[in-house]
Structure 1
Amino acid sequence: MSGLIPSGLNRRLVVAALAGSAADLAGLGLIASAAWLITRAAEQPPLAALSVAIVGVRAFATSRGVFRYAERLAGHDVALRAQAATRERLYEALIPSGPLSHRGADLLSRMVDDTDAVQDLLVRCLLPAIAALVTGAVAVVIALFLLPAAAFALLAGLVIAGVLLPIGTAAASRRWSARLAPARADLAARVADLVHGSADLAAYGAKGEALAAGMAADDHLAALERRQSRVSATALLTGVLTQGLTVVAIVWICQATGTGSVATAVLALMSLVAFEPVLPLAAAGERLTGVLAALRRLTDLRSLPAAVTEPAAPAVTPSGPLTIEVSNLVVRHGEARPALNGVSLTLTPGRRVAIVGPSGAGKSTLLSALMRTIDYESGNITINEVEARDLPSETVRHLMTGLTQDPYVFQASFKDNLRLAGPEASDEGLANAVQAAHLDTWADRTGWDTPLGEDGRTLSGGQLQRLALARALLYNPPVLLLDEPAEALDEQTAAALMADLLDATHGRTTLLITHRLRGLEAVDEILVLEDGQITQRGTHTDLTTTDGYYRTLWQSEAMLHT
């Protein structure tokens, strides 16, 4: 529980538990005092003999509503705060973990549905159990004072309804409840695939098969939920029967022992009310298995290893013009052969270096290692002679970052998407970055506050890349890293974007990953990366006059353009 409830919320949790217990005790006192008042009044005693009971009924009736309101307020407050804290810790665990194997819909399900389990654990399991324990104990003590035999009957009924029945429902649902959360995640993932991939599914005639798979996932989830409903209904029926039989047994014991009508009425009605906070525990026991399964899924995510190892004692952040030195870098993904094997390069202040190579050569892996989103096996990356591993990954990304291969567009306005890279940027700063990316004409025509839609579907490929470039320029890191900025664009759009990009990065320390060679005459050095190793290096002129990958690709592009 300490892992779910932040230490600052423990006091709020105690207040909620006390308020809930007080509300149920007030209800118990209300029924007991009302039963005593009604049966005693039937004996027509002096009014003064009933005055205390009259005041007690009013006090219990008023305080019950007050305490119940306080319990709801404090209970939901601590539950929502704990849920928010859980999501925050989940974000903190996911961000340094790098790329995940989980599908986006599955992660969304875990972030939304599974974190709701924290609320269920507190509001529907823990707090009701505390209130039921306190109320049941007080009811048994009162019954023990009035009639010990009735107290044992009440205790037996409460144990059956409040202990044995929840254990039974938990055991009955344990077989399949752990499958509910994965089933919901699977259905969410299939629905997301149908919605986002509808065009591709229709184009390749796979819509019917995908729809059938989605319906099968829905049927599977519905079957599990029906079983859950049967368990809930059976548990409720058993609990109500136990409540009724207990009250009948207590009345029979009272009659058998010759107990007076006042005590009989108090014991019977008090026992009836004592079951009110106990009966929901059967549903709580059933729910607990699903809650624990969801919490285990969250724990699995939170226990993911970090993509990079953070230094225990960070070095001083380098300042001034930065020189990046990569020496004999080796990066391996799992047990496969190295994605990078002995790569070395130097980025001096103001120098622009381009890296070209076939797909899978390790170009994006190199940028990921430079930005410390993945760790490297051996070799060195130094920033002004400071080892990158000795700096926090956030600091490294503050010094070296830029345009990723698949820029993400949030469902917000054009201006808000820009402010992601510069929250404090002025309107003039935004305008300068947009102008440098040659997106100003479109922005002025469309409007800066225009929503870009989910995943930026209102943008063309070229506009999306220019937005990403504007972000990178607005962030203005000391070392600008650009990963395939013209990827998936047509030749004309790609050529225009590359020309604008090279113009905008003039005088900036820049590392450019690309598979397009047009415009690379402007960079200071070109490295050819093949199979994780640098096979050629030099200027555009040097490489076009030397046999190798670069010259072959250049000739192919020249033939294509002619």
Structure 2
Amino acid sequence: MKTFFRLAGLTRPFAWWMLLAAIIGFATIGSGIGLLMTSAWLITRAAMQPGISTLQLGITGVRFFGLSRGVLRYAERLISHNTTFRILTRLRVWFYEAVEPLAPARLAAFRSADLLQRIVDDIQSLENIYARVIAPPLTAIMITVLMWFLVGAWSTGAAVGVLACQLLAGVAIPLFTAGIARGKARNVMELRTEQQLLAVDLVQGLGELRVFGQLDAYLDRMQRTENHKLKLQKQASFIEGFQEMLSGIAMNAAVVWVLWALLPQLRSGGVSGITLSAIVFGVTASFEAFQPLSGSFQHIEADIRAGDRLFEIIDAEPEVKAPTQPIPFPAEQHVEFKELTFTYPGNSRPALDRVSLSVPQGDRVAIVGPSGAGKSTITSLLVRFWNPSTGTITIGGREITSFDPETLRRNIAVVSQKTYLFGQSIRENLKLAKPEANDDELERALSLAGLESLHTRLDDWAGQHGMNLSGGERQRIAIARMILQDAPIIVLDEATANLDAITEEAVLETIDQACKDKTVLAITHRLHRMERFDEIIVLNEGRIIEQGHHEELLDRNGFYAGMWRLQNEVAV
């Protein structure tokens, strides 16, 4: 229950609104009790054909309770729904504020569809925490107290019997049915998550499934998952119906108990038949407060499961924390890596092992090596997606941990091989780098990136993951972003890895023009136009094995020269 109390604690700012809604809910059911009791009194009294003046009070009572019940029900729904939406808003903001510092390092272990399920569906399921978990027990407790005094005014024995039946309907039966249904809500949530994962993979991998002839098998798997979920939902619905039947029996038992307890008084004249009928109808109406309690017990399990999934992420310690007193970004941007060692979680071999290198301001330095050598890890450490295990990174002589992470990233423009374009317009994708940019600035950046053809297409949809654009256009948009960002430090992380030779040449020419007077760190395994770099660092298995100028490294006839010859032989 620790998770439930943590979730309930998040609703504390709305405690007074929740209490008000519960009180109005109590008044609503109380009006229903009053309506049935006055109706019973009016009908039985009218059967004796008294004068109209005798019935006037009952007629007025029916009108009052009938109208008030409708008005109060509306007010209760208005306040409770408004409170629920406010709670959902708070939960979403709370979750995002907690998750944002975790990205990307601590979220790397989660699949994107699973994260989406937690952000959307798991939080959405928590709307029940007030409307179906907290509020119904509060209302039921108040109705129980009301009926104790109401029935107890005529017979303590009858009040005890009604209380016993209410506890049966409100506690024992829900606990019993919740025990039968235990695990089903959790399993349904897990199956929904699996469906989300399958659906995302289906959309993204539809081409591969068709090519390999596995589409039908994949759809069968999705159908089996859906059938399993439906089976569990049918079982849950059956249990819910069974619980309603048992609650109905408890209500009827309360009525029988009241009749049995008050029968001696009826015979002795202590209670009239009119009063007895009113009490019976009041007891019947009071059980409206106990009907939602079965759902309360069942929703607790779903809420706890959703909370566990959310807290699994929330409780993760951020890899990177902002300093309490960040310093301004320096005007001098000499980048230096000192004895840098880093090991990814779960790996025994370090991705980087005591790496030291220097990138003077205004210089262009290339880091080359085979795939898996640790090149891209340097980018992740430089922009503080991760912190090094040992060693330091400095810019202008100051450790990057002393800068605010957002300030650091604004001053480092990264062009990677995986340029992510959002499913929005080209304009919105460009403004990611400079939100306040006007059309003239956007068109200038596009022109410098060689995308003059997009000047008139700024409002065109880029497509999901930029699929409405070619690979070359996507890379050039990344360059346009870099131009708009106008950062003093540029990192090119395999920026041309997925391009053909002609497009690569054009993109490299564009990058050279855009990076004049900038500090450039280029990471690549393709040795093309390497003579333009001031220094080349050769990385293998996380260690620097060679460094120098292009011609110097060729003359050494070492690892770099071997890579150069191999790539040129393949090209020929």
Is residue 235 of structure 2 the alignment partner of residue 235 of structure 1?
Answer: no
Amino acid at match of 1:408: Y
- Whole-Å separation in 2 of the counterparts to 1:189 and 1:342: 39
One-letter amino acid matched to 2:299: R
CA shift for structure 1 position 51: 4.1
What is the correspondence of 1:210-359 to structure 2 with a 5 Å cutoff? 210-258=218-266, 259-311=271-323, 313-334=324-345, 335-359=347-371
2:500 and 2:565 mapped to 1: Cα distance? Answer: 19
Specify which of 460, 466, 469 is matched with residue 470 of structure 2.
460
Check the 8 A contact 1:166/1:282 in 2, yes or no: yes
Change (3 A) 1:175 1:3: closer
Q: How many Å apart are 1:44 and its aligned residue?
A: 4.7
Amino acid at match of 2:496: A
Choose the corresponding residue for 1:555, options 528, 545, 565: 565
Correspondence for 1:412 among 420, 424, 448: 424
Query: 1:530 offset after TM fit, Å?
Result: 1.2
Call closer, same or farther: CA 1:94–1:116 in 2, change over 3 Å: same
Is the 1:170–1:287 Cα contact (8 Å) retained in structure 2? no
Q: In the TM superposition, what is the alpha-carbon distance from 1:240 to its structure 2 partner? A: 1.7
Contact between 1:173 and 1:289, CA under 8 Å: does it hold in 2? no
Tell me if structure 1 keeps the 8 A contact 2:443–2:455: no
Q: How does 1:431-450 map to 2 (within 5 A)?
A: 431-441=443-453, 443-444=454-455, 447-450=457-460
CA distance in 2, matches of 1:516, 1:546: 19
Select which of 536, 557, 561 maps to 2:546.
Answer: 536
1:210 CA displacement: 2.5
The one-letter amino acid of 2:488's match is P
Structure 1 residue matching 2:127: 3-state secondary structure: helix
Write out aligned runs for 1:393-412 (5 A): 393-412=405-424
In 1, distance between residues paired with 2:398 and 2:429?
33
Q: 1:16 to 1:472 in 2, by over 3 A?
A: farther
Letter of the aligned partner of 2:217 in structure 1?
E
How far apart, CA to CA, are the structure 2 residues paired with 1:275 and 1:416? 56
Q: CA, structure 1 residues 356+129, in 2 after alignment: closer, same or farther (shift >3 Å)?
A: same
Distance 1:405 1:12 in 2: 51
Q: Which segment is superposed worse, 484-493 or 39-48?
A: 39-48
CA contact (8 A) 2:35 2:66 kept: yes
The C-alpha deviation readout for 1:14-66, integer Å capped at 9, x for no partner, is 23222222222222222223323333344455555544444333332222222
**Is 415-424 or 9-18 further displaced after alignment?**
9-18
Code of the aligned partner of 1:8:
P
Q: Which ranges in structure 1 are unaligned for 5 or more consecutive residues?
A: none
Question: Normalising by structure 2, what TM-score?
Answer: 0.92
Distance 1:69 1:524 in 2: 74
Instruction: Note the alpha carbon deviations across 1:355-408, whole angstroms, 9 max, x for none.
Output: 111100111111000111111111111122222223332232223242234222
* TM-score between both structures, scaled by the size of structure 1: 0.94
Deviation (angstroms), 1:351: 2.1
Contact 1:481/1:511 (<8 A) preserved? yes
> Is the 1:232–1:286 Cα contact (8 Å) retained in structure 2?
no
Aligned length: 559
- Aligned AA for 1:317? P
Q: Give the aligned partner of residue 500 of structure 1.
A: 510
Of residues 111, 114, 121, the one that matches 1:113 is 121
Q: Give runs of aligned pairs for residues 460-499 of structure 1, distance below 5 A.
A: 460-499=470-509
* 1:180-195 → structure 2 map (5 Å cutoff): 180-195=188-203
**1:373 corresponds to which of 377, 385, 395:** 385
2:76 matches 1:58 = no
Residue type at the aligned position of 1:70: A
State the one-letter code of the partner of 1:320: A
**Alignment partners' CA distance in 1, 2:284 and 2:274:** 15
Partner AA of 1:180 in structure 2: V
Q: Distance in 1 between matches of 2:487 and 2:24?
A: 54
Residue 152 (structure 1) aligned to one of 160, 180, 186? 160
Q: Is the 8 A contact 2:449 2:477 kept in 1?
A: yes
Q: Structure 1 pair 17/323, CA: closer, same or farther in 2 (3 Å)? A: farther
Aligned to 1:423: 435
SS in 1 for 2:153: helix
Following superposition, the deviation at residue 162 of structure 1 comes to 0.7
For 2:71 and 2:391, the matched residues in 1 are separated by 67
Aligned equivalents of 2:64, 2:530: Cα separation in 1 = 85
Change over 3 Å in CA distance of 1:147–1:49 after alignment to 2: farther
12, 19, 43: which one pairs with 2:17? 12
Deviations 1:495-516 (A, max 9, x none): 2212211221111122121222
The Cα shift of 1:182 comes to: 1.3
Q: 2-side partners of 1:76 and 1:353: how far apart?
A: 59
> Which moves more between the two structures, 526-535 or 394-403?
394-403
Q: Is the CA contact (8 Å cut-off) linking 1:353 and 1:527 kept in structure 2?
A: yes
Q: Report the counterpart of residue 515 of structure 1 in structure 2.
A: 525
Aligned equivalents of 2:178 and 2:486: distance in 1? 56
Report if the CA contact (8 A) 2:327-2:404 is conserved. no
Pairing partner for 1:384 from 396, 402, 407: 396
Among 82, 92, 115, the alignment partner of 2:97 is 92
CA contact (8 A) 1:24 1:277 kept: yes
